[in-house]
């Protein structure tokens, strides 16, 4: 395998922006996500727009609906040390 070279970091992404990106990629509306999770649409909007904190419990619920690991939502800017990278 050739030498691993990490991608350059291009933008900071918040937890709320990560929720929005994953929701948009799955072509899901806030209302649909609300129906899957039981989290009010207004709360999802507040999370996505940075007016409310995501929190670990909400992250678990949203991650299940968005089919990702909760850590993707809770730690969007996490850097993996090169020694542990693929």
Kindly indicate the confidence band of residue 9, based on its pLDDT and cuts at 50, 70 and 90.
low
Which position has the higher pLDDT, 37 or 84?
37
Pick the closest to residue 72 from 7, 15, 8 (CA basis).
15
What is the distance between the alpha carbons of residues 51 and 74, in angstroms, rounded to a whole number?
16
Mean per-residue pLDDT of the chain: 87
Q: What is the DSSP letter of 77?
A: T
Domains of the chain, with CATH numbers?
15-74 (1.10.260.40)
Task: Write out pLDDT tens, residues 20-76.
Answer: 999 999 999 999 999 999 999 999 999 999 999 999 999 999 999 999 999 989 887
> What 3-state class would DSSP assign to 59?
helix
Q: Give the ranges where 28-82 is alpha helix by DSSP (H).
A: 30-37, 41-48, 56-66, 70-74
- Give yes or no for a contact between 15 and 74, defined as CB atoms under 8 angstroms apart: yes
């Amino acid at each position: 395998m050739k030498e691993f070279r990490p991608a350059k970091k291009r933008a900071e992404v918040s937890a709320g922006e990560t929720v929005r990106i994953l929701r948009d990629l799955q072509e899901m509306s806030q209302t649909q996500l609300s129906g899957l999770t039981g989290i009010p649409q207004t709360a999802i909007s507040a999370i996505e727009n940075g007016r409310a904190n995501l929190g670990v419990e909400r992250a678990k619920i949203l991650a299940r609906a968005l089919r990702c690991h909760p850590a993707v939502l809770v730690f969007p800017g996490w850097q993996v040390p090169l020694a542990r990278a693929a």
